[in-house]
């Protein structure tokens, strides 16, 4: 009887280990990832306005049809990145995502920022240089340290009326995004 119980416990443990290994490795085997879907928009170091979501059409990023979206891909290996500009006087939010699509930083105009976006994004090494005053930054720049080099920024605007959507998209498209030029 004891031998049977030992085999049973061993089988359950081995099955559990195999189950955990399979679950942890499956995301690495996926061909279509968040990063590949974002890369398809060719938004490297520039703000790209995403097409409006329409009812009945595919929505691979799960976007809200009432919002206007701007997307920008960043690579901090090229140097610190900056998001700068002024957004319309309505609700907006900005989120930075890592390569896996996990939010690493988020803010809104209701955080006391107002309508002006002036954000500097640095990796750990660049933040050390900043602390040692080897990098110059402008006063008032909101500094964000990113844990990885490959990121994307998603800005969401909420136009109060549908007729304002085009004007909001134009203002969003004027946001500069990428390394300082």
pLDDT digits (tens, 9 = 90+) for 71-94: 999 999 989 999 999 999 899 999
Nearest 5°: phi and psi at 57?
-100, 160
The answer to whether 86 and 113 are in contact (CB under 8 A) is no
Pick the CATH number of 34-179 from 2.40.160, 2.60.40, 3.30.200, 3.40.1350: 2.60.40
What is the greatest pairwise CA distance in the chain? 76
72/181 Cα distance (integer angstroms)? 16
Q: Among the residues of 30-123, which ranges form H helices?
A: 34-39
Region 112-140: what's the mean pLDDT? 83
This prediction has a pTM of 0.80
Residues 18-28, mean pLDDT to the nearest whole number: 85
Instruction: Tell me whether strands 68-75 and 150-157 are parallel, antiparallel or unpaired.
Output: antiparallel
């Amino acid at each position: 009887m004891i031998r049977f119980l030992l085999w049973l416990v061993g089988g359950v443990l081995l099955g559990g280990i195999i189950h955990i290994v399979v679950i942890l490795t499956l995301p690495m085997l996926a061909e279509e990832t968040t990063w590949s879907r974002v890369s398809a928009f060719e938004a490297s170091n520039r703000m790209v306005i995403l097409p409006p979501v329409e009812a009945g059409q595919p929505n691979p990023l799960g976007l809200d049809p009432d919002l206007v979206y701007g997307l920008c891909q960043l690579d901090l290996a090229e140097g610190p990145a900056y998001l700068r500009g002024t957004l319309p006087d309505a609700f907006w939010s900005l989120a930075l995502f890592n390569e896996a699509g996990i939010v690493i930083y988020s803010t809104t105009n209701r955080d006391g920022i107002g309508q002006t976006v002036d954000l500097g994004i640095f990796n750990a090494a660049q933040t050390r240089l900043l602390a040692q005053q080897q990098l110059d930054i402008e006063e008032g720049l909101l500094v964000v340290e990113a844990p990885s080099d490959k990121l994307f920024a998603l800005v969401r605007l909420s136009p109060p009326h549908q007729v304002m959507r085009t004007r909001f998209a134009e203002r969003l498209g004027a946001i500069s995004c990428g390394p300082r030029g």
